[in-house]
Chains A and B, each alone.
Chain A
Amino acid sequence: MQTVKMVVTGPFSAGKTEFIRSVSEIDVVSTERKISSEAEKVKDQTTVAMDFGRITVDDSLVLYLFGTPGQRRFDFMWEILSEGMLGFIVMVDSTRPETFREARNILETFRAYAPTPYVVAANKQDFKEAWDLDDMRIALRLDAKVKLLPCVATEKETVKGVLLELLYSILEEMDKNEAK
Chain B
Amino acid sequence: MALKGNLRDFSVTQLLNLINVAQKTGTLVVEGPSEQIWVSFREGKLAFARNGQEDGSLATVLYRAKKISAAQFRAIQERAANMSDKELGLLLINANYITQQDIINSLQAYFLGVVNRLFTWVEGLFHFENDMMPPDDKITVRISLENIIIEGSRRMREWEQLQDEIPSLEVAMKFTDRPGTNIRNVNLSVEEWRVVSYINPKNTIRQVAKATNKSDLEIRKVVYGLLQAGLIELVRPEGVVQPATPAGRPALPVTNKEDQKSLINRIISRIRSI
Please give the residue numbers on chain A whose beta carbons come within 8 Å of chain B beta carbons, in ascending order.
2-4, 23, 55-58, 61, 63, 79, 82-87, 95-98, 100-101, 105, 108, 113-116, 128-132, 134-135, 138-139, 141, 156, 160, 163-164, 167-168, 170-171, 174, 178
Contacts and interface: CB of A to CB of B under 8 A. Distances in A.
Contacts of A113: 246
B22 interface: yes
A86 B252 CA distance: 7
A131 B168 CA distance: 27
B71 interface: no
Interface residues of B, number: 44
Contact of B246 (A57, A79, A96, A163): A79
A58 B167 CA distance: 43
Interface string B1-42: 111111011100010011001100000000000000000000
A95 B5 CA distance: 9
A109 B204 CA distance: 17
Contact of B242 (A115, A131, A139): A115
B179 interface: no
A63 B10 contact: no
Contacts of A164: 268, 271-272
B270 interface: yes
Contacts, number: 116
A168 B264 CA distance: 9
B264 A160 contact: no
A116 B251 contact: yes
A131 B267 CA distance: 31
B86 interface: no
Given A55-B271, A114-B243, 9 more contacts: A55-B267, A82-B246, A84-B251, A85-B251, A97-B9, A100-B10, A114-B246, A167-B264, A174-B264
A156 B271 CA distance: 10
Contacts of A178: 257
28 contacts: A2-B254, A4-B253, A4-B263, A23-B271, A23-B274, A55-B267, A55-B270, A55-B274, A57-B266, A57-B267, A57-B270, A61-B263, A63-B267, A79-B246, A84-B245, A87-B251, A105-B164, A114-B245, A128-B2, A130-B1, A130-B2, A132-B1, A134-B22, A135-B22, A138-B17, A160-B271, A164-B272, A171-B264
Contacts of A134: 22
Nearest to A87: B251
Nearest to B268: A167
Contacts of A170: 264
B14 to A, nearest CB: 7
B151 interface: no
Contacts of B74: none
Given A4-B251, A4-B267, A164-B272, A129 B4 contact: yes
B102 interface: no
A163 B271 contact: yes
